[in-house]
Chains A and B, each alone.
Chain A
């Protein structure tokens, strides 16, 4: 069974440029998460989807970050404009069912460098 797929794996951009990350969850997983992992720290949740609905976006900086999950499958996370402090690894995860207690499976992440 294929795992969580993310692209690109690496992205280098200059500040003030836009950037987008894509995630394809494990087939059948209706809950999808985006996390940000800063260097030397644990991941922090940005947004959680249950099917198409964003049920927890309280940690998403809405002035520059946006996300969508059309048709309840793939998801895209966008930053516009990027700032130096956005350099981090962006992780996507998915789980089966809508219970928050189900195991989450992580993708390999996208490492973003903002110059």
Chain B
């Protein structure tokens, strides 16, 4: 079946540091890939997505590229802010969303 494996946390960074959260997937077919974010006290929000191989999704300074050859969709941001502190979930959508376990990111001023 489909599954997503993402880097375990928690991750603690200083402001303006570079952030990478690794995500790999196993799927039959050609799923769409997503990163969702859950800020403290809020619901899940879509951060970015990519629907086919080599697509790059981007939003709020975050980027992720759909790599079919390595079955990966790593999330990156060049300079994080305190407001980026949240739980990040990688997910694939093949008629239903399959989520990774989530990575908690804390950014310190």
How near does chain A come to B9, taking the closest CB pair, in angstroms? 10
A91 at interface (Cβ–Cβ under 8 A)? yes
A72 at the interface (CB under 8 A from B): no
Could you tell me the dominant secondary structure of chain B's interface residues?
strand
Any chain A CB within 8 A of the CB of B51? yes
- CA of A56 to CA of B91, assembled, Å: 18
The B18-55 residues at the A interface (CB cut-off 8 A) are 32, 36, 42-46, 49, 51
Q: Which A residues between 22 and 63 are near B, CB-CB below 8 angstroms?
A: 33, 35, 40-45, 48, 56
Q: Which residues from chain A contact B96 at a C-beta distance below 8 Å?
A: 33, 45, 48, 56, 100
Chain A residues whose CB sits within 8 angstroms of the CB of B81 once the complex forms: none
Q: Which residues of chain A are within 8 angstroms of B32 by Cβ–Cβ distance?
A: 101
For B100, the chain A residues whose CB sits under 8 A away are 42
Q: A42-B89, A45-B96 are in contact. Are A103 and B49 (CB under 8 A)?
A: yes
CB within 8 Å of B: which residues of A?
4, 33, 35, 40-45, 48, 56, 91, 93, 100-101, 103-109
